[in-house]
Amino acid sequence: MALLLRPLVRVGALLMGRGIKGWWIRRSDKEKEEYKQWYRNKSNIFLGCFGLYGLILALYYITHLETDPLTKRKRFIVFNQEQEKKLGEMVLEAHLEIHRKDLVPHDHPAYKRLIRVIERIFTANKDLKSIKDIQWTLTVIKTPLTNSYILPGGNIFISLDILKIIENDDQLGIVLAHEMAHSLLLHSLETLSSQLLWDLLIVIPILLVWTLFPDLAAVVIHMLGERILNVMYNLPLSRVLESEADEVGLKLAAKACIDIREAVVFWATMRTLTEMHTLPPELPWVSTHPAHGDREKRLNETMTQALELRKDSGCSELPAVDPRDKFYKRSAKEHEIYFKQRGII
């Protein structure tokens, strides 16, 4: 219903605005003056209706705020996990169809490796009820994209190409724990809830734009408004959720006795490859993800606390040589040689 409602609200407001504008153009000057006078007499009623609509949305927002048990952050969610599961089934079917020619069989060594690491993270975090409530699935695909993502309902997708950049199972655990954290934190439901609320908020501005302005001007204003909303709200929210998944994923990995210092090395590697123009350039302010360097820095800042959690989880001592020191001691030329040896560039 929400997926159907979102485009219908926008298109409905657009068509209604154009309809009102066309109806107004066909009125005579006398009729227009009469309607203007009628509106002036009823203006308080119209303003009251707009105010009531805003109040209803505000109350709806407040009554659907909840505190995330893992981060203690307040978030707006209107859907439940059963609905997320159904959404996940729909989206999973679509993604499997898209990648039907790229699917890696379950007996592939990479698939077995990934399952082993996922099970390690899952077993170490069984104290979290939410991790046991999710029906985790894994899909490995052969695509030229160095990418991993998770669909609603715990359906993890990962490309073989990203495994070329991932240096060891510790880094692999960091990547997988990050994706699992997205699901535990209900980020897909939060994003969809937020988008639905914004659609309901901007329906009146869309209606007014298409009522008051000529079609060409309305198209420009409408598109500009959408871009501003995206840059000012949607993309920043997405980056916040990515950073949150980084931090919670680090904790999941720490409890699984993974060398979480490799998280910094992984994002430092991504940053370095971007600087070497092996990966696409970053434009953080128009991106759904934080810059690689920002993630590297933020994980470094939270590392002490995460290492304490790892120690408290009964894990064995980490190797004395810190992988971060090894990475940072290499020169740019040495990085290039090392990446060539690993077949990354």
In the residue annotation, 33 being an active-site residue is answered as no
- Which among 200, 328, 310, 202 has a CA at the least distance from the CA of 252? 310
Q: Say which residue the tokens 């219908």 belong to.
A: 8
User: In Å, how far are 8, 18, 128, 204 from 216, measured between CA atoms?
Assistant: 21, 12, 54, 19
Maximum pairwise Cα distance, the chain: 87
Q: Choose, from 84, 167, 179, 262, the residue flagged as catalytic.
A: 179
Phi-psi map region of 257: left, alpha, beta (phi>0 left; psi -120 to 50 alpha): left
Query: Which residues have a catalytic role annotated?
Result: 179
